[in-house]
Chain A
Amino acid sequence: MRTILFFSLTLLILSNCTEKKTLKILNRGEEVNGKMVYEKIRDFSFTNQDSIEVTNKTFGGKIYVSNNFFTTCPSICPTTSLHMGRIYDRFLNDDRVGMISHSIDVRTDSVPVLKTYANGLEIEAPKWNLVTGNEEEILAIAYDYFSNALKDETAPGGFDHDDLFVLIDKNRHIRSIAHGTDPKDVNRFMKDMEFLLKSEYSETK
């Protein structure tokens, strides 16, 4: 009796271990003609710290990480920038990975201001794009990235936004999310990135 129990336990543990990791598409989806169709990131066109246009095409064939920030944000942004910096360093030489940080304070964060901030962060486009653009478009696209970005006079710096990092696959679908102020969560997120790279780039072969 005891041996049976023991064996079933080991089996249980083993089967648990061998369960394959997957990254589900997190967007809302519905079945159309027997196929799942998911919502995806809309078309966009913004301008980065080098005055170069950044669109969905910039990330064509790539996976990319998106977040929101603004250069004068006193609360969470230095921390999220620090951890975006870790992602930048880790994937610097991997051209399959792109990064975009939307400034939600488009009035203050002109292209030269973004350039100075990028220099301070010691980062460069096209790997990591700090973008500005039409205010409505920037605040609206946050919705597609499951993020909050709202004007709020009472929030530190005048904007209310969250610390989310969002991982987008080659088909504009969201595959992973992390709290950019939580170092451990960002570690997990980077593992998800590596996993996605492996699975996305073997599917196509």
Chain B
Amino acid sequence: MRRYLFFFGLILFTIFTWTDCSNSYSDGKYLYEIHCQSCHMPDGIGLKGLIPPLAGSDYLKKNYDKLPCVILLGIEGEIVVNGKTYNQPMAGIPELETMDIALLINYINHQWGNDGKYTDFREVEANLQKCE
């Protein structure tokens, strides 16, 4: 009997952690809406030649390791996204926790048709060590 209870508990646990996993997008979405959407727009298209897109951005793939630093500390100077040059400083969002950054990156990497890598707390923390 005990063993059954144990397995039952295990199954419940897995279901809960799973639903928790799928919730991570809605957390990321929430963070995106309060911190990023005003500039990168709800559908991730950015603003003409002023603010680069996140939807379909090749920058996300090419600079995957840099994303935590971009989000935390901002980015300045010329950058090229999908062949187009942008040069307007983006302020960082220093109050974000490591976990928030991971949630944000997973969100933008899997929205608007984007199909990027999944990241996690440990990887984000490691990449944050490399910020300039």
A121 in contact with B38 (CB, 8 Å): no
Q: Which residues of B contact A79 (CB under 8 A)?
A: 38, 41
Closest to A79 in B: B38
User: Taking CB as reference atom, which chain B residue is nearest A85?
Assistant: B48
Q: In the complex, A7→B84 CA distance in Å?
A: 62
CA distance A82 to B49 in the complex (A): 11
The size bracket of the interface on B is: 10 to 19
Q: Which residues 54-82 of A have a CB within 8 angstroms of B? A: 74-76, 78-79, 81-82
A91: chain B residues at CB < 8 Å are none
A24 to B21, CA, bound (A): 53
Q: Are A82 and B38 in contact (CB under 8 A)?
A: no
Interface-central residue, A79, A117, A119, by most chain B CB under 10 Å? A79
Judge whether B39 is part of the interface by a CB distance below 8 angstroms.
Answer: yes
- B-side contacts of A120, CB under 8 Å: 47-50, 88
Interface 0/1 of B48-74, CB less than 8 Å to A: 111100000000000000000000000
Q: Are B39 and A121 in contact (CB under 8 A)?
A: no
**A43 adjacent to chain B (CB < 8 Å):** no
Residues of chain B contacted by A203 (CB below 8 angstroms):
none
Instruction: Please state if B47 and A121 are interface contacts (CB–CB under 8 Å).
Output: yes
Closest B residue by C-beta to A120: B50
Give complex CA distance A82, B39 in Å: 10
Contacts of A82 in B (CB 8 A): 41, 47-48
> Given A79-B38, A79-B41, A82-B41, does the pair A74, B50 have CB atoms closer than 8 Å?
no
Which residues of B are found within 8 Å of A78, using beta-carbon distances? 38-39, 41, 47, 50-51
Selected A-B contacts with CB under 8 Å, 28 pairs: A74-B38, A74-B39, A74-B91, A75-B38, A76-B38, A78-B38, A78-B39, A78-B41, A78-B47, A78-B50, A78-B51, A79-B41, A82-B41, A82-B47, A82-B48, A85-B47, A85-B48, A117-B50, A120-B47, A120-B48, A120-B49, A120-B50, A120-B88, A121-B47, A121-B48, A121-B49, A122-B48, A122-B49
Chain A residues within 8 Å of B, Cβ to Cβ: 74-76, 78-79, 81-82, 85, 117, 119-122
New contact pairs (11) apart from A78-B41, A78-B50, A82-B48, CB-CB < 8 Å: A75-B38, A78-B47, A79-B41, A81-B47, A82-B41, A117-B50, A119-B49, A120-B48, A120-B49, A121-B49, A122-B49
- Using CB atoms and an 8 Å cutoff, list the residues of chain B in contact with chain A: 38-39, 41, 47-51, 88, 91
